[in-house]
Structure 1
Amino acid sequence: MVRKEVATSGTALGAQLRINCLTLCQGLHNHHAGESLGMFPVLLDRYPEISEEIAALQADHDKIALLLDELKELIGTGRPADVLPEVDRLIDELTTHLDTEEAVLIPLL
């Protein structure tokens, strides 16, 4: 939804779109913090054999956090042409990350 809003926003990001983007960024941060601090340690205790996969997922979290920080900075500019490529990068990273989570974690949960 946010990508479509950015893509169709014209020459400037409206206030609501900025709020939507920032809300999404904060929600992703909170979600990943919960996984990193809560779920990953529990899974590692139960399934030490997936330590490499958990390390890769944590690296994804770190990379996505950087992308979110960059996106938040760009949102402040209000220029959709600058924001859209970063939204697309974030979508690509999240899609890959979620595919990995699904393959690794769902069978264990």
Structure 2
Amino acid sequence: MSDIPRLVAWRRQLLEAHTRLRFALATAREAARDGADLPDAPRDLLLYCHGFCVALDGHHRGEDTLLFPALAAQHPEIARVVSMLTRDHELIAALLARFDAAVRSTESPATLALHLQGIAAIMESHFRFEERELEPLLDRLELDADPGAVLGPL
């Protein structure tokens, strides 16, 4: 296999990871929105919301430990962007921790939906910034690593 497809694949891998996370968030938001009318709402919300939180956290941990250091090493000019993205990850982690606490304390589906609305707004802004700033660099990224470890489970 030539280097070109592998290098270009990092852009595709990032976009696919973001698409999966957007879908997971939409599923969790739907479960919270419809949860008040379902007999198994607490269990279902815990399942959907926990799955989303774990997936997003895994995605960010992989970026922080593997993707961002590789990009910064190959493109030192993006140090400020990497710093901003890392701060976003810390903010999102705090929001996820608060959300997880709300889920575990059996807050109402309406309250959980509000948490998810806030997470969605920050996450979407973060993803768009990340995609805009990193996509061109991902086409040239030289990183010999498992995409699941770098961007979260595929």
Q: TM exceeds 0.5?
A: yes
Contact kept? 2:31, 2:48, Cα under 8 Å: no
Partner of 2:31: 5
**Inter-partner Cα distance in structure 1 for 2:91 and 2:73:** 24
What's the secondary structure of 2:30's corresponding residue? helix
Give 1:14 deviation, angstroms: 2.6
Partner of 1:34: 62
Q: Does 1:15 align with 2:28?
A: no
Which one-letter code corresponds to 1:87 in the other structure?
Answer: L
Query: Larger Cα Rg: Structure 1 or Structure 2?
Result: 2
Partner of 1:84: 113
Q: Which has the higher contact order (CA 8 A, sep 6+)?
A: 2
Contact kept? 2:99, 2:115, Cα under 8 Å: yes
Give 1:11 deviation, angstroms: 6.6
Contact kept? 1:44, 1:51, Cα under 8 Å: yes
Which one-letter code corresponds to 1:68 in the other structure?
Answer: L
Runs of 4+ in structure 1 off by over 6 angstroms are none
Partner of 2:123: 94
Deviations 1:58-108 (A, max 9, x none): 000000000000000000132112211110000001100000111011111
Partner of 1:71: 99
> Given the two structures, how large is their TM-score scaled by the length of structure 2?
0.68
Which one-letter code corresponds to 1:88 in the other structure?
Answer: Q
Contact kept? 2:68, 2:82, Cα under 8 Å: yes
Which one-letter code corresponds to 1:44 in the other structure?
Answer: A
Aligned pair count?
109
Give 1:15 deviation, angstroms: 0.4
- After superposing the two structures, state which structure 1 stretch, 5-14 or 73-82, moved more: 5-14
Contact kept? 1:2, 1:20, Cα under 8 Å: yes
